[in-house]
Amino acid sequence: MPSGVHIHNVRGQLFEAAERVLLRDGPDALTSRAVTEEAHCAKGVLHRHFTDFDAFLAELVLDRIRGIEERATVLRAAAGTGSVVDNLAGALADLFGPVTVAIVALITFRDGLRARLRRAGLAGIPLVAQGSAMVAGYLTAERESGRVADDADIDTLAPVLVGAGHLLFADRTSAPPQIAAVRRMVATVVAGAVRPPLV
Each residue of 25-44: b (16+ CB within 10 Å) or e?
A: eebeebebebbbebbebbee
Inform me whether the pLDDT recorded for 4 exceeds 60. Answer: no
> Nearest 5°: phi and psi at 194?
-90, 130
Q: Residues 148-191: pLDDT tens digits? A: 999 999 999 999 999 999 999 998 677 889 999 999 999 999 99
To the nearest 10 degrees (0 to 180), the angle between helices 98-109 and 53-77 is 140
CA 59/CA 65 separation, integer angstroms: 10
132 contacts 122 by C-beta, under 8 angstroms: no
CA 10/CA 82 separation, integer angstroms: 40
Distances (CA, A) of 3 to 46, 64, 160: 14, 30, 50
Q: Residues 58-89: pLDDT tens digits? A: 999 999 999 999 999 999 999 999 999 999 99
Domain ranges of the chain: 1-49, 63-190
Inform me whether the pLDDT recorded for 9 exceeds 90. Answer: no
User: What's the CATH architecture for 1-49?
Assistant: Orthogonal Bundle (1.10)
